[in-house]
Every structure is written in structure tokens, then in C-alpha cells.
Structure 1
Amino acid sequence: MLWVLFLLVAWGAAAVSCVRLCLAAARLAPPPGTSPRETREGRRAADGPELTLYETAFLTGGPHRVADLALVTMHLRRRLLLAHTGWATVVDPDGRDEVERTVIRAIGPQGQSPIPPVRSAAAAADAVRALAERLVAAGLALPVGAGTDIVAAVRAVRGAALLVAAMGTAALLTPGREEGPGGSGVPVLVWFGLPLVLTLGCLAIARMEVHPYSSWASPAGQRLLNVRPASAGDPEGDVLVAVAVRGVGAVADPALRAALGRRGGAARIFP
């Protein structure tokens, strides 16, 4: 009856991981009584028919992507100089929005600063926090930690499925398994098949409901990202769209890419 111990381990792993995935997925649901159409129409009525570049940057890469977008925007429009050595120099001290003004304040009164602390300060600024809160309230962004939870939960269910398969294989190789119900190995496979079906079913449902798994955008936000314009219509705008969607790796200028590629210690965002 040693196979029964393997079965208990398999059922325990499957049950715990599937419950964890269900709880994580529940955090992605819109507020009660709000249909996806109402959420999208309400958000458009308040903020316009399409996502802004800042909103796109947040949904694809989070607060640090917003900070990178602001830095690249200011550099391309000659309000900031980003040197390949990793320093930022203020050219025009008048920011065009609150995120840009946060960048200028983070650089300091001397007008020069290393880029990593500027990026961290901008990512943690109230302006970015307010942007995140608006997107969460509209159902387009995930609450803090929800995206990480869903990714970790999906990995846990995958691991549980592999553990169930391993436990089933071990049970089949264990002497005395014929003592199980039915007196043959067939019932053993059936008993292990149930938790395997449970885990695989949860993975299939999660893929249909919340895939692609994102750390920032909700399923509604992902759908809205999929319909955004692929081009801004001019070279500078195309660069900014690329940075918002893919990050600084999309920058063609090697000097600018080198400047932004110098990462400092990660700041704690939105405690």
C-alpha cells in the first residue's frame, strides 16, 4: 500500500496548487456588476479612444518602462541629454507633464545625475502611481503583486502536474501495488489520473481566461494593447512606440541604448 502515500502527495500538491491558481485568478476579475464592455467604454470616455504612450508603457513593462519612456522622450526632443557614460543632463528645465517634471526634480539642482537613480525616482513617483491607480480602477492593469501571483501560481500547477506524473510512475514501480482496489495496476493509474486531469484542466482554463500571463496588464488591458496602432506615423513617434511596447532594447541608437542600459539597484515600487 505504499502507492497510497504517493497518491496522497499527488492529491495534496494538485489541490494546493489549483486553489492557489484560482485565488490568484480571482484577483484579476473586474469589480462586481461591471461588464468588459462597460469597463472599456467607461475608460475610453474618460481618457480617450486609445491608450496613451505612458499607459502602454505601464501595461507592457510597469513603472520602470514609464520612466524609460519619459527619459527617451525628453532626450529625443532635446529637453534632456543622455550620455553613453550613463549620465543625464538637463537642457530644458520645463517638463511637459508631471512625469517629466519628476525626472527633472530627480536630477537635482546641479542639472546632472547618473541615470539609474533618476529612473528609480521617476518609477516610484506619485505621477506614475496615479497612472497605475487609474489603470487598475479601469480594469486594465493588475493590482500590485497580482501579476506576479498568477505567474507563480501557473508555475506551481505545472510543477504539481509533473509531480503527479512522477508519483504515478513511482507507484506503478512499487511492489505490492496489486493490493490496491481491483487487484491490478489499472486502478492505480485511474487514481493518479484524477489529480492529473485536475491540474491540466486548471492550466487549460487559465490559458483561455488569463493568458498571456502578464505582470502588469489585465486580460482587458492585454486586449486593448492588441488593438493599439503599430506606428505613430513619424520616425520619432515610432521610436517612442517601440520603447513603450518593447523597452529600451528597441532603441536603434547605440549611444542611447548604452546610456539606458546602465542599471542601478532596483527601487521598491509602490510599497
Structure 2
Amino acid sequence: MTTMEQPAILTPSQAREVFRTGETPVTTSGWCRGYVQANLLAVPRDLAFEALLFAVRNPAACPILEITDPGDPYAREVAAADLRTDLPAYRIYQDGALVAEVPDVTEYWREDLVAFLIGCSFTFETALATAGVPLRHIEQGRNVPMYVTSRECRPAGRLAGPLVVSMRPVPADLVDVAVEVTARYPAMHGAPIHVGDPAELGIADLALPQFGDSVEFEIGDVPVFWACGVTPQAAVMASAPPFAITHAPGRMLITDRTEETLVT
């Protein structure tokens, strides 16, 4: 049996070793059950303060878990991880344009880069499942769908852009449970920002996510939306800084911290 068939039981260090070999899953959702996952944004030092200010001004989308020193490619607080190699896939942006998606960014890493690790909603999925809330994207073997909304984030200097949300279909009678469970994880985006009509977020078609995969609804499901850590990537695309490195949406850093350490 391959690691792809039993990802939930791996330890974070085992998962990161898998990713260093170049094995790239569709998503890290469901990997290393019970451990915190994180988004990545790495920007040049001269943009780092604005990235920090953007995160502080938009905490639901950008809850910060760790910030590295300039040029340091290692996470040290949430994981013993090399940020150049230990995620499944990365995206390289130049002047706001996506120029590459790669499994290793060693050749792209710069001595002036400051890395931000941002909480991810995959972390609370174990708690949702334990509470009886189905996870349709995992059931269907897909990445969670993510959408660019019509809501603008609070800008910070040169960084501005729209809020991105993740969406999970939830049975109507379990929406209150999903809200209660996820509200206990503010460092992982917390409670949903919207339930129901996607048009209220400016989303025209749930079948056409800008990131991730579309998922099938079961009878009685309603769409539930959470702020998403891909929001900084939308800001990069909208603001067009000269250079940035991010995770590939849905393929996260798996940290060494357990989810219980971030529950309120």
C-alpha cells in the first residue's frame, strides 16, 4: 500500500519526506490526521512589512503562525521543515503572473525572502469529521474548491486584492455544528464567513472554482464558505509585486503541531 493510500496515518515528518521525493498529492486535505497545516507566502524583505500589515488587517484570511528571518528557508516554531522542499508543490509569481508550479523551490529561493506561514482550514477538518460533518471533497478524492470573491480585503501599502474563500457542502441540519466546531479554530480561519447563496460573495458558478476542484453536492447540502489562506496569492496577482513564492493551493506545509494546540 502506498503513502497516497494511507496519508491520514503518516506523521508530519514522514509526509514531508514523501514530498521531498517529488510525490505530489492532489491535496494535503486528509493527510496526517490531527496536525496543523499551513499556507506559505514568501516575499522579498522590502515587501515583508506590507505583507505583515496585510495579514494583520485581514486576520480571518491570514492568521499568522510563523514568520522567518530574511533569507532563512527553515520553519523553526511550528515545524522542523525546509520551506524550499517540504511542501508538495509551489507557485512562483513574477510581476503578479504565475510563471511556474514546481515541487522544489531551492533554485528560486533568494537571500532576501521572508516567509509567512498562515493557518489553513484543512486543520479543522478532523474535528468536523469527528462531529459528523461530511467532507465531500475528501469523499470524492478532490481538492477543496476555492473562489475569488467580490469582497475586497483591507489593503496594506502596495498589497491589495480580493478575499478568497474555500467552500464545503454541508447538510443543512449540520451547518450549526460546522459553525460551532470551526469557530474554535481562529488560527485556522475560524467560523464560516457566509452560508448559502454564493452570489452574495460575487461567485457566479460553484462549478467553476478559481483554485482547487469542483465538488458534487448531496441532496440537502448547502454551500458553506470560509476565509482562505490563498487570499495572499490573490493579492500578489492583483498587486503584481516583482517576485513571490507561495504554496500551490490545497497542497500545504504539514507542521509538527497538533490541532489541539490552537483550539480556543
- TM-score normalised by structure 1 residue count: 0.24
> Which structure: greater strand fraction?
2
Give the TM-score, by structure 2 length: 0.24
Greater gyration radius: 1
